[in-house]
Chains A and B, each alone.
Chain A
Amino acid sequence: MTSDFAPMAGHAHPTPQGAVQIAEGVHWIGALDPDLRSFDIILKTANGTTYNSYVVRGSEGVAVIDTVKAPFTAEFLAKLESVARYDEITTLVLNHLELDHTGAVPEFLRRAPHVNIYVSPRGLQVLRALLKDDFDSYSVTTVETGDTVSLGDKTLRFLTTPYVHWPDTQCTWLEEQNLLFTCDLLGCHYCDGRLFNDRVGDFRFAFDYYFDHIMRPFKGYVAQALDLIEPLEIDMIAPGHGPVLRAHPRDYIAQYRRLITKRLASETGDEKTLLIFYVSAYGATAQMAGAVYEGATESDDVRVSLFDLEGGDVTPFIDLIEEADGLIFGTPTINGDAVRTVWDLLSSLVDIDTKGKLGAAFGSYGWTGEAVGMVESRMQGLKMRVPEKGLRIKMHPTEDELEECRDFGRRLAAHLAGRAVAREIDMSELLGS
Protein backbone atom coordinates (compact mmCIF):
# COMPACT_ATOMS: atom_id res chain seq x y z
CA MET A 1 0.00 0.00 0.00
CA THR A 2 1.35 3.38 -0.94
CA SER A 3 0.71 6.05 1.62
CA ASP A 4 0.12 9.73 1.30
CA PHE A 5 2.85 12.20 2.05
CA ALA A 6 2.47 14.98 4.59
CA PRO A 7 4.80 17.64 6.00
CA MET A 8 6.54 16.54 9.20
CA ALA A 9 5.75 18.84 12.13
CA GLY A 10 8.33 21.61 12.29
CA HIS A 11 10.03 20.51 9.09
CA ALA A 12 9.76 21.51 5.48
CA HIS A 13 10.16 17.92 4.34
CA PRO A 14 7.18 15.81 3.41
CA THR A 15 7.28 12.51 5.18
CA PRO A 16 5.68 9.21 4.24
CA GLN A 17 2.79 8.34 6.53
CA GLY A 18 3.30 4.62 6.10
CA ALA A 19 5.03 2.05 3.94
CA VAL A 20 5.90 3.21 0.43
CA GLN A 21 5.84 0.85 -2.53
CA ILE A 22 9.07 1.15 -4.51
CA ALA A 23 8.46 -1.76 -6.89
CA GLU A 24 5.85 -4.48 -7.37
CA GLY A 25 5.69 -6.34 -4.05
CA VAL A 26 8.55 -4.27 -2.55
CA HIS A 27 7.95 -1.62 0.11
CA TRP A 28 10.14 0.88 1.91
CA ILE A 29 9.45 0.64 5.66
CA GLY A 30 12.29 2.83 6.95
CA ALA A 31 12.46 5.95 9.09
CA LEU A 32 13.36 9.60 8.58
CA ASP A 33 15.71 11.34 11.00
CA PRO A 34 15.65 14.99 9.84
CA ASP A 35 17.06 16.37 13.10
CA LEU A 36 20.33 14.46 13.01
CA ARG A 37 23.28 16.85 12.55
CA SER A 38 26.22 14.53 13.08
CA PHE A 39 26.50 10.86 12.13
CA ASP A 40 29.01 8.49 13.77
CA ILE A 41 30.66 11.71 15.03
CA ILE A 42 32.68 11.98 11.79
CA LEU A 43 30.02 13.22 9.35
CA LYS A 44 27.94 16.35 9.33
CA THR A 45 24.34 15.77 8.28
CA ALA A 46 22.93 19.15 7.31
CA ASN A 47 19.40 17.89 6.72
CA GLY A 48 19.52 14.61 8.63
CA THR A 49 19.41 11.11 7.22
CA THR A 50 17.12 8.16 6.59
CA TYR A 51 17.36 4.59 7.82
CA ASN A 52 16.02 2.54 4.94
CA SER A 53 14.46 -0.86 5.46
CA TYR A 54 12.54 -2.84 2.87
CA VAL A 55 10.01 -5.66 2.64
CA VAL A 56 9.88 -8.04 -0.31
CA ARG A 57 6.75 -10.14 -0.77
CA GLY A 58 7.05 -13.33 -2.82
CA SER A 59 4.50 -16.04 -3.57
CA GLU A 60 5.99 -18.29 -0.87
CA GLY A 61 7.52 -15.96 1.65
CA VAL A 62 8.16 -12.42 2.82
CA ALA A 63 11.61 -11.00 3.46
CA VAL A 64 12.65 -7.99 5.53
CA ILE A 65 15.87 -6.39 4.28
CA ASP A 66 17.72 -4.56 7.10
CA THR A 67 15.99 -2.59 9.85
CA VAL A 68 16.42 0.87 11.44
CA LYS A 69 18.16 2.63 14.34
CA ALA A 70 16.68 1.63 17.72
CA PRO A 71 14.78 4.87 18.55
CA PHE A 72 12.77 4.39 15.34
CA THR A 73 11.73 0.81 16.10
CA ALA A 74 8.05 1.60 16.74
CA GLU A 75 7.49 3.38 13.44
CA PHE A 76 9.44 0.68 11.59
CA LEU A 77 7.25 -2.04 13.08
CA ALA A 78 4.09 -0.04 12.34
CA LYS A 79 5.05 0.29 8.69
CA LEU A 80 5.98 -3.38 8.55
CA GLU A 81 2.68 -4.43 10.09
CA SER A 82 0.82 -2.40 7.46
CA VAL A 83 2.19 -4.59 4.67
CA ALA A 84 2.83 -8.01 6.25
CA ARG A 85 1.77 -10.24 9.15
CA TYR A 86 4.60 -11.55 11.30
CA ASP A 87 3.61 -15.16 10.59
CA GLU A 88 4.06 -14.50 6.87
CA ILE A 89 7.61 -13.28 7.25
CA THR A 90 10.11 -16.03 6.50
CA THR A 91 13.34 -14.17 6.06
CA LEU A 92 15.44 -11.42 7.64
CA VAL A 93 18.42 -10.28 5.61
CA LEU A 94 21.02 -8.21 7.44
CA ASN A 95 23.35 -6.70 4.87
CA HIS A 96 25.33 -4.85 7.55
CA LEU A 97 25.23 -5.23 11.32
CA GLU A 98 25.96 -1.64 12.37
CA LEU A 99 23.41 -0.35 14.87
CA ASP A 100 21.76 2.17 12.57
CA HIS A 101 20.54 -0.81 10.54
CA THR A 102 20.06 -3.39 13.27
CA GLY A 103 18.66 -1.34 16.15
CA ALA A 104 15.19 -2.78 15.63
CA VAL A 105 16.35 -6.37 15.14
CA PRO A 106 15.89 -7.60 18.75
CA GLU A 107 12.35 -6.21 18.93
CA PHE A 108 11.48 -7.56 15.49
CA LEU A 109 12.77 -11.02 16.43
CA ARG A 110 10.63 -11.06 19.57
CA ARG A 111 7.64 -10.72 17.25
CA ALA A 112 8.91 -13.05 14.53
CA PRO A 113 11.25 -15.53 16.22
CA HIS A 114 10.65 -18.12 13.52
CA VAL A 115 12.35 -16.21 10.67
CA ASN A 116 15.55 -17.37 9.05
CA ILE A 117 18.28 -14.76 9.42
CA TYR A 118 20.86 -14.36 6.64
CA VAL A 119 24.18 -12.60 7.21
CA SER A 120 27.66 -12.72 5.69
CA PRO A 121 30.16 -14.99 7.46
CA ARG A 122 31.83 -11.98 9.01
CA GLY A 123 28.48 -10.71 10.21
CA LEU A 124 28.05 -13.72 12.45
CA GLN A 125 30.23 -12.48 15.32
CA VAL A 126 28.52 -9.09 15.41
CA LEU A 127 25.07 -10.69 15.31
CA ARG A 128 26.15 -12.89 18.21
CA ALA A 129 27.12 -9.75 20.16
CA LEU A 130 23.88 -8.01 19.21
CA LEU A 131 21.59 -10.83 20.32
CA LYS A 132 23.66 -11.97 23.33
CA ASP A 133 22.15 -15.02 25.05
CA ASP A 134 19.22 -15.13 22.61
CA PHE A 135 21.50 -15.81 19.64
CA ASP A 136 21.27 -19.59 19.91
CA SER A 137 17.49 -19.54 19.88
CA TYR A 138 17.33 -18.15 16.34
CA SER A 139 17.93 -19.72 12.94
CA VAL A 140 20.97 -18.03 11.42
CA THR A 141 22.56 -18.87 8.07
CA THR A 142 25.73 -17.39 6.62
CA VAL A 143 25.66 -16.63 2.91
CA GLU A 144 28.26 -15.77 0.32
CA THR A 145 28.31 -14.60 -3.28
CA GLY A 146 25.98 -16.77 -5.36
CA ASP A 147 23.91 -18.14 -2.48
CA THR A 148 20.17 -17.63 -2.91
CA VAL A 149 16.98 -17.62 -0.89
CA SER A 150 13.69 -18.35 -2.66
CA LEU A 151 10.50 -16.48 -1.83
CA GLY A 152 8.61 -18.51 -4.45
CA ASP A 153 8.32 -16.25 -7.48
CA LYS A 154 11.12 -14.02 -6.21
CA THR A 155 14.75 -14.85 -5.50
CA LEU A 156 17.25 -13.07 -3.31
CA ARG A 157 20.84 -13.58 -4.43
CA PHE A 158 23.68 -12.47 -2.17
CA LEU A 159 26.87 -10.66 -3.10
CA THR A 160 29.69 -10.70 -0.56
CA THR A 161 31.10 -7.17 -0.58
CA PRO A 162 33.28 -6.85 2.53
CA TYR A 163 34.63 -3.57 3.92
CA VAL A 164 32.11 -1.27 2.31
CA HIS A 165 32.52 -0.18 5.01
CA TRP A 166 32.60 -2.94 7.67
CA PRO A 167 34.01 -6.45 7.34
CA ASP A 168 30.46 -7.83 7.34
CA THR A 169 28.91 -5.81 4.51
CA GLN A 170 27.05 -7.56 1.70
CA CYS A 171 24.51 -6.68 -0.99
CA THR A 172 21.29 -8.51 -1.86
CA TRP A 173 20.02 -8.78 -5.45
CA LEU A 174 16.33 -9.27 -6.14
CA GLU A 175 16.80 -11.20 -9.36
CA GLU A 176 13.36 -11.02 -10.94
CA GLN A 177 13.08 -7.26 -10.48
CA ASN A 178 16.67 -6.15 -11.11
CA LEU A 179 16.69 -4.43 -7.72
CA LEU A 180 19.85 -4.22 -5.64
CA PHE A 181 19.80 -3.67 -1.87
CA THR A 182 23.20 -2.18 -1.00
CA CYS A 183 22.90 -0.97 2.59
CA ASP A 184 25.68 1.62 3.09
CA LEU A 185 27.21 1.20 -0.37
CA LEU A 186 25.86 3.88 -2.75
CA GLY A 187 23.99 5.49 0.12
CA CYS A 188 24.21 8.98 1.56
CA HIS A 189 22.99 11.03 4.48
CA TYR A 190 20.19 13.04 2.96
CA CYS A 191 16.72 13.22 4.43
CA ASP A 192 13.80 13.80 2.10
CA GLY A 193 10.51 11.96 2.51
CA ARG A 194 9.89 11.97 -1.22
CA LEU A 195 12.37 9.05 -1.13
CA PHE A 196 13.17 8.64 -4.83
CA ASN A 197 16.22 10.25 -6.42
CA ASP A 198 14.11 11.81 -9.18
CA ARG A 199 11.80 13.48 -6.65
CA VAL A 200 14.02 14.61 -3.75
CA GLY A 201 16.12 17.79 -3.58
CA ASP A 202 19.68 18.03 -4.88
CA PHE A 203 21.64 15.43 -2.91
CA ARG A 204 24.70 15.13 -5.15
CA PHE A 205 27.03 16.76 -2.62
CA ALA A 206 25.80 14.35 0.05
CA PHE A 207 26.53 11.35 -2.17
CA ASP A 208 30.17 12.36 -2.73
CA TYR A 209 30.62 13.53 0.88
CA TYR A 210 29.40 10.19 2.18
CA PHE A 211 31.82 8.36 -0.09
CA ASP A 212 34.73 10.55 1.04
CA HIS A 213 34.14 9.89 4.73
CA ILE A 214 32.79 6.33 4.74
CA MET A 215 34.07 4.52 1.65
CA ARG A 216 37.33 6.29 0.76
CA PRO A 217 39.49 4.34 3.24
CA PHE A 218 38.28 1.15 1.54
CA LYS A 219 38.77 2.01 -2.13
CA GLY A 220 40.23 -1.38 -2.97
CA TYR A 221 37.20 -3.14 -1.49
CA VAL A 222 34.82 -0.71 -3.22
CA ALA A 223 36.49 -1.70 -6.51
CA GLN A 224 35.86 -5.38 -5.74
CA ALA A 225 32.23 -4.62 -4.91
CA LEU A 226 31.78 -2.67 -8.15
CA ASP A 227 33.29 -5.57 -10.09
CA LEU A 228 30.44 -7.73 -8.76
CA ILE A 229 27.73 -5.13 -9.25
CA GLU A 230 28.56 -3.61 -12.64
CA PRO A 231 27.64 -6.69 -14.71
CA LEU A 232 24.10 -6.68 -13.24
CA GLU A 233 21.24 -5.24 -15.32
CA ILE A 234 20.18 -2.87 -12.56
CA ASP A 235 16.82 -1.07 -12.66
CA MET A 236 16.89 0.24 -9.10
CA ILE A 237 19.32 0.59 -6.20
CA ALA A 238 17.81 0.59 -2.72
CA PRO A 239 20.48 1.73 -0.24
CA GLY A 240 20.36 1.87 3.55
CA HIS A 241 20.57 5.67 3.73
CA GLY A 242 19.29 8.44 1.49
CA PRO A 243 17.28 8.36 -1.72
CA VAL A 244 16.22 5.20 -3.54
CA LEU A 245 18.05 5.35 -6.87
CA ARG A 246 15.47 4.48 -9.52
CA ALA A 247 16.38 7.11 -12.12
CA HIS A 248 19.68 6.38 -13.89
CA PRO A 249 20.98 4.03 -11.18
CA ARG A 250 24.05 3.16 -13.20
CA ASP A 251 25.18 6.81 -13.05
CA TYR A 252 25.75 6.39 -9.31
CA ILE A 253 27.79 3.25 -9.85
CA ALA A 254 29.81 5.13 -12.46
CA GLN A 255 30.34 7.96 -9.99
CA TYR A 256 31.74 5.48 -7.44
CA ARG A 257 34.06 4.15 -10.13
CA ARG A 258 35.27 7.73 -10.72
CA LEU A 259 35.70 8.36 -7.02
CA ILE A 260 37.95 5.32 -6.51
CA THR A 261 40.13 6.26 -9.45
CA LYS A 262 43.43 7.87 -8.47
CA ARG A 263 43.00 11.59 -7.97
CA LEU A 264 46.53 12.37 -9.00
CA ALA A 265 47.96 10.70 -12.06
CA SER A 266 51.35 9.27 -11.27
CA GLU A 267 54.18 9.79 -13.74
CA THR A 268 56.45 7.51 -11.80
CA GLY A 269 55.37 4.19 -13.29
CA ASP A 270 56.72 1.41 -11.11
CA GLU A 271 58.89 3.77 -9.07
CA LYS A 272 58.08 3.92 -5.37
CA THR A 273 57.16 7.29 -3.93
CA LEU A 274 58.41 8.50 -0.56
CA LEU A 275 57.19 11.67 1.15
CA ILE A 276 59.15 13.36 3.93
CA PHE A 277 57.21 15.83 6.10
CA TYR A 278 58.85 17.87 8.82
CA VAL A 279 58.31 20.69 11.26
CA SER A 280 61.22 22.47 12.87
CA ALA A 281 61.41 25.00 15.69
CA TYR A 282 65.13 25.98 15.61
CA GLY A 283 66.19 24.38 12.35
CA ALA A 284 67.63 21.17 13.83
CA THR A 285 64.82 18.87 12.66
CA ALA A 286 64.91 20.67 9.30
CA GLN A 287 68.63 19.84 9.02
CA MET A 288 67.83 16.22 9.78
CA ALA A 289 65.04 16.24 7.18
CA GLY A 290 67.40 17.56 4.55
CA ALA A 291 69.93 14.83 5.30
CA VAL A 292 67.29 12.04 5.31
CA TYR A 293 66.14 13.41 1.94
CA GLU A 294 69.69 13.40 0.58
CA GLY A 295 70.19 9.79 1.62
CA ALA A 296 66.87 8.58 0.22
CA THR A 297 67.33 10.36 -3.12
CA GLU A 298 70.50 8.37 -3.79
CA SER A 299 68.14 5.53 -4.79
CA ASP A 300 67.19 5.71 -8.45
CA ASP A 301 64.08 3.60 -7.96
CA VAL A 302 62.46 5.81 -5.30
CA ARG A 303 60.92 9.22 -5.98
CA VAL A 304 61.41 11.35 -2.88
CA SER A 305 59.65 14.60 -1.95
CA LEU A 306 60.35 16.91 1.00
CA PHE A 307 57.73 19.17 2.60
CA ASP A 308 57.74 21.64 5.47
CA LEU A 309 54.35 21.04 7.08
CA GLU A 310 54.10 24.65 8.15
CA GLY A 311 53.90 25.60 4.48
CA GLY A 312 50.97 23.39 3.53
CA ASP A 313 47.36 22.55 4.27
CA VAL A 314 46.20 19.15 5.41
CA THR A 315 43.76 18.32 2.60
CA PRO A 316 46.14 18.32 -0.40
CA PHE A 317 48.70 16.41 1.65
CA ILE A 318 46.10 13.71 2.31
CA ASP A 319 45.51 13.35 -1.44
CA LEU A 320 49.26 13.05 -1.91
CA ILE A 321 49.70 10.54 0.91
CA GLU A 322 46.88 8.36 -0.42
CA GLU A 323 48.98 7.63 -3.52
CA ALA A 324 52.37 7.41 -1.77
CA ASP A 325 54.22 4.23 -0.81
CA GLY A 326 56.12 5.64 2.17
CA LEU A 327 55.87 8.48 4.69
CA ILE A 328 58.53 9.87 6.97
CA PHE A 329 57.68 12.42 9.65
CA GLY A 330 60.19 14.71 11.29
CA THR A 331 59.04 16.38 14.48
CA PRO A 332 60.73 18.07 17.40
CA THR A 333 59.56 17.20 20.90
CA ILE A 334 57.85 20.16 22.53
CA ASN A 335 56.25 19.82 25.95
CA GLY A 336 56.83 16.07 25.75
CA ASP A 337 54.81 15.66 22.57
CA ALA A 338 54.97 15.81 18.80
CA VAL A 339 53.87 19.17 17.47
CA ARG A 340 50.27 19.91 16.61
CA THR A 341 50.88 20.32 12.86
CA VAL A 342 52.07 16.72 12.73
CA TRP A 343 49.13 15.43 14.74
CA ASP A 344 46.68 17.37 12.55
CA LEU A 345 47.92 15.50 9.51
CA LEU A 346 48.28 12.12 11.21
CA SER A 347 44.78 12.29 12.67
CA SER A 348 43.35 13.10 9.24
CA LEU A 349 44.80 9.96 7.69
CA VAL A 350 41.84 7.98 8.99
CA ASP A 351 40.07 9.13 5.79
CA ILE A 352 42.35 7.10 3.52
CA ASP A 353 43.86 3.63 3.32
CA THR A 354 47.35 3.61 4.80
CA LYS A 355 47.60 -0.13 5.40
CA GLY A 356 50.99 -1.52 4.46
CA LYS A 357 52.59 1.83 3.63
CA LEU A 358 56.11 2.31 4.96
CA GLY A 359 56.42 4.73 7.87
CA ALA A 360 59.29 6.22 9.84
CA ALA A 361 59.94 9.11 12.20
CA PHE A 362 62.84 11.29 13.26
CA GLY A 363 63.39 14.47 15.20
CA SER A 364 65.58 16.70 17.27
CA TYR A 365 64.90 17.26 20.95
CA GLY A 366 66.24 19.15 23.92
CA TRP A 367 65.30 17.06 26.96
CA THR A 368 63.18 13.98 26.42
CA GLY A 369 62.45 13.23 22.75
CA GLU A 370 59.21 11.26 23.12
CA ALA A 371 57.70 12.66 19.93
CA VAL A 372 59.41 10.20 17.60
CA GLY A 373 58.05 7.15 19.43
CA MET A 374 54.59 8.69 19.59
CA VAL A 375 54.52 9.23 15.85
CA GLU A 376 55.75 5.68 15.26
CA SER A 377 52.94 4.32 17.43
CA ARG A 378 50.40 6.36 15.50
CA MET A 379 51.72 5.01 12.22
CA GLN A 380 51.45 1.45 13.52
CA GLY A 381 47.89 2.27 14.55
CA LEU A 382 47.31 3.29 10.94
CA LYS A 383 48.34 -0.27 9.93
CA MET A 384 51.63 0.94 8.49
CA ARG A 385 54.89 -0.98 8.74
CA VAL A 386 57.66 0.83 10.58
CA PRO A 387 60.78 -1.17 9.74
CA GLU A 388 63.46 1.19 11.10
CA LYS A 389 63.64 2.44 14.66
CA GLY A 390 63.13 6.20 14.71
CA LEU A 391 66.10 8.52 14.71
CA ARG A 392 66.41 11.03 17.56
CA ILE A 393 69.17 13.59 17.89
CA LYS A 394 69.70 15.89 20.84
CA MET A 395 69.84 19.56 19.79
CA HIS A 396 71.48 20.35 16.42
CA PRO A 397 73.05 17.46 14.53
CA THR A 398 76.80 17.15 14.07
CA GLU A 399 78.23 16.19 10.70
CA ASP A 400 78.46 12.56 11.88
CA GLU A 401 74.86 12.69 12.99
CA LEU A 402 73.81 14.12 9.65
CA GLU A 403 75.49 11.13 8.04
CA GLU A 404 73.37 8.93 10.33
CA CYS A 405 70.34 10.75 8.93
CA ARG A 406 71.49 10.14 5.36
CA ASP A 407 71.96 6.47 6.16
CA PHE A 408 68.49 6.39 7.73
CA GLY A 409 67.13 7.75 4.44
CA ARG A 410 69.12 5.21 2.43
CA ARG A 411 67.83 2.29 4.50
CA LEU A 412 64.23 3.46 4.26
CA ALA A 413 64.50 3.84 0.50
CA ALA A 414 65.93 0.32 0.36
CA HIS A 415 62.95 -1.02 2.33
CA LEU A 416 60.60 0.73 -0.04
CA ALA A 417 62.31 -0.68 -3.10
CA GLY A 418 62.42 -4.19 -1.63
CA ARG A 419 66.22 -4.07 -1.35
CA ALA A 420 66.52 -3.96 2.44
CA VAL A 421 69.34 -6.03 3.89
CA ALA A 422 67.77 -8.81 5.95
CA ARG A 423 68.71 -8.62 9.64
CA GLU A 424 68.58 -11.15 12.46
CA ILE A 425 68.37 -10.29 16.15
CA ASP A 426 67.69 -12.01 19.46
CA MET A 427 64.48 -11.30 21.31
CA SER A 428 66.49 -9.97 24.25
CA GLU A 429 67.43 -6.98 22.09
CA LEU A 430 63.77 -6.00 22.05
CA LEU A 431 63.38 -5.93 25.80
CA GLY A 432 62.52 -2.49 26.96
CA SER A 433 61.69 -1.36 23.45
Chain B
Amino acid sequence: MATAKLSFADVALTVNVPEGTRIIDISEKIGSGITYGCREGECGTCITRIMEGGDNLSEPSALETRVLKDNLAGRNDRLACQAQVLRGTVKVKPG
Protein backbone atom coordinates (compact mmCIF):
# COMPACT_ATOMS: atom_id res chain seq x y z
CA MET B 1 0.00 0.00 0.00
CA ALA B 2 1.26 3.48 -0.86
CA THR B 3 2.44 5.49 2.11
CA ALA B 4 2.61 9.15 3.00
CA LYS B 5 4.31 11.18 5.71
CA LEU B 6 2.32 12.95 8.41
CA SER B 7 4.36 15.40 10.51
CA PHE B 8 3.27 16.90 13.81
CA ALA B 9 5.20 20.08 14.51
CA ASP B 10 4.24 20.38 18.17
CA VAL B 11 5.85 17.06 19.12
CA ALA B 12 8.60 17.02 16.45
CA LEU B 13 7.50 13.66 15.07
CA THR B 14 6.82 12.33 11.56
CA VAL B 15 4.84 9.13 11.08
CA ASN B 16 4.85 7.08 7.88
CA VAL B 17 1.20 6.21 7.28
CA PRO B 18 -0.85 4.31 4.69
CA GLU B 19 -2.78 6.53 2.30
CA GLY B 20 -6.26 7.27 3.58
CA THR B 21 -5.15 7.66 7.21
CA ARG B 22 -7.05 10.35 9.08
CA ILE B 23 -5.04 12.79 11.20
CA ILE B 24 -7.05 11.69 14.26
CA ASP B 25 -5.83 8.11 13.80
CA ILE B 26 -2.30 9.22 14.66
CA SER B 27 -2.38 12.46 16.62
CA GLU B 28 -3.72 11.07 19.86
CA LYS B 29 -1.34 8.11 19.89
CA ILE B 30 1.71 10.33 19.66
CA GLY B 31 0.64 12.99 22.19
CA SER B 32 0.03 15.88 19.81
CA GLY B 33 -1.92 18.74 21.34
CA ILE B 34 -4.71 18.47 18.73
CA THR B 35 -7.87 17.96 20.77
CA TYR B 36 -11.16 16.35 19.98
CA GLY B 37 -14.78 16.82 20.88
CA CYS B 38 -17.45 14.95 18.94
CA ARG B 39 -15.00 13.12 16.61
CA GLU B 40 -17.72 13.17 13.95
CA GLY B 41 -17.00 16.44 12.18
CA GLU B 42 -19.68 18.52 13.82
CA CYS B 43 -18.17 20.44 16.75
CA GLY B 44 -15.02 21.99 15.25
CA THR B 45 -12.91 21.28 18.34
CA CYS B 46 -10.19 19.54 16.31
CA ILE B 47 -9.47 22.40 13.93
CA THR B 48 -5.89 21.83 12.83
CA ARG B 49 -3.52 24.16 11.02
CA ILE B 50 -2.04 22.63 7.86
CA MET B 51 1.50 23.99 7.65
CA GLU B 52 2.53 22.13 4.49
CA GLY B 53 0.96 19.76 1.98
CA GLY B 54 -2.69 20.79 2.14
CA ASP B 55 -3.13 19.53 -1.43
CA ASN B 56 -2.16 16.06 -0.21
CA LEU B 57 -5.26 15.81 1.95
CA SER B 58 -8.73 14.61 0.94
CA GLU B 59 -11.17 17.30 -0.15
CA PRO B 60 -13.38 18.54 2.70
CA SER B 61 -16.91 17.16 2.67
CA ALA B 62 -19.94 19.47 2.66
CA LEU B 63 -20.25 18.93 6.43
CA GLU B 64 -16.59 19.77 7.09
CA THR B 65 -16.81 22.84 4.86
CA ARG B 66 -19.83 24.08 6.77
CA VAL B 67 -18.28 23.43 10.19
CA LEU B 68 -15.04 25.18 9.19
CA LYS B 69 -17.05 28.18 8.00
CA ASP B 70 -19.22 28.26 11.14
CA ASN B 71 -16.08 28.23 13.26
CA LEU B 72 -14.42 31.04 11.30
CA ALA B 73 -11.55 28.74 10.36
CA GLY B 74 -8.72 30.01 8.17
CA ARG B 75 -8.07 28.72 4.67
CA ASN B 76 -5.26 26.45 5.92
CA ASP B 77 -7.41 24.88 8.62
CA ARG B 78 -8.95 21.43 8.49
CA LEU B 79 -10.78 19.11 10.87
CA ALA B 80 -8.36 16.42 12.11
CA CYS B 81 -11.21 13.95 12.55
CA GLN B 82 -12.15 14.26 8.88
CA ALA B 83 -9.05 15.02 6.80
CA GLN B 84 -7.30 12.01 5.27
CA VAL B 85 -3.70 11.96 4.10
CA LEU B 86 -3.65 10.76 0.48
CA ARG B 87 -0.05 11.21 -0.64
CA GLY B 88 3.27 12.97 -0.12
CA THR B 89 4.00 14.90 3.06
CA VAL B 90 1.57 16.78 5.25
CA LYS B 91 2.76 18.89 8.19
CA VAL B 92 0.27 19.95 10.86
CA LYS B 93 0.01 21.64 14.25
CA PRO B 94 -2.90 22.30 16.63
CA GLY B 95 -5.17 25.06 15.33
- What residue of chain B has the Cβ atom nearest to residue A382's Cβ? B35
Q: Is A427 an interface residue (CB 8 A)?
A: yes
Chain B nearest CB: distance from A268 CB in Å?
21
With A125-B42, A356-B94, A422-B12 already in contact, the answer to whether A385 and B31 are too (CB < 8 A) is yes
Q: Is A37 an interface residue (CB 8 A)?
A: no
CB–CB A426/B15 < 8 A: yes
A interface size (C-beta, 8 A): 32
- What residue of chain B has the Cβ atom nearest to residue A430's Cβ? B29
CB–CB A425/B16 < 8 A: yes
Query: In the complex, A209→B69 CA distance in Å?
Result: 35
Contacts of A272 in B (CB 8 A): none
Query: In the complex, A260→B12 CA distance in Å?
Result: 31
Contacts of B21 in A (CB 8 A): 427
CB–CB B70/A387 < 8 A: no
Q: Which of B28-81 contact A (CB under 8 A)?
A: 28-33, 35, 42-44, 67, 69-72
B interface size (C-beta, 8 A): 28
Q: Is A423 an interface residue (CB 8 A)?
A: yes
Contact of A415 among B12, B16, B30, B44 (CB under 8 A): B12
With A121-B70, A122-B71 already in contact, the answer to whether A424 and B35 are too (CB < 8 A) is no
CB–CB A424/B18 < 8 A: no
- What residue of chain A has the Cβ atom nearest to residue B43's Cβ? A125
B interface footprint on A120-148 (CB within 8 Å = 1, 0 otherwise) = 01101100000000000000001010000
CB–CB A424/B26 < 8 A: no
Q: Is B24 an interface residue (CB 8 A)?
A: no
Q: Is A322 an interface residue (CB 8 A)?
A: no
In the complex, besides A122-B71, A387-B31, A424-B5, 13 extra interface pairs with C-beta distance below 8 angstroms are A121-B71, A122-B44, A142-B70, A355-B33, A356-B10, A385-B31, A387-B10, A387-B12, A415-B11, A422-B12, A422-B13, A426-B15, A433-B29
* Chain B residues packing against A (C-beta within 8 Å): 5, 10-18, 21, 26, 28-33, 35, 42-44, 67, 69-72, 94
Q: Please name 21 pairs of A and B residues whose Cβ atoms are closer than 8 Å in the assembled complex, sorted by A.
A: A125-B70, A355-B94, A356-B10, A383-B35, A383-B94, A385-B10, A385-B32, A386-B11, A389-B31, A415-B11, A420-B11, A420-B12, A421-B12, A422-B13, A423-B13, A424-B13, A425-B15, A426-B15, A427-B16, A427-B17, A427-B18
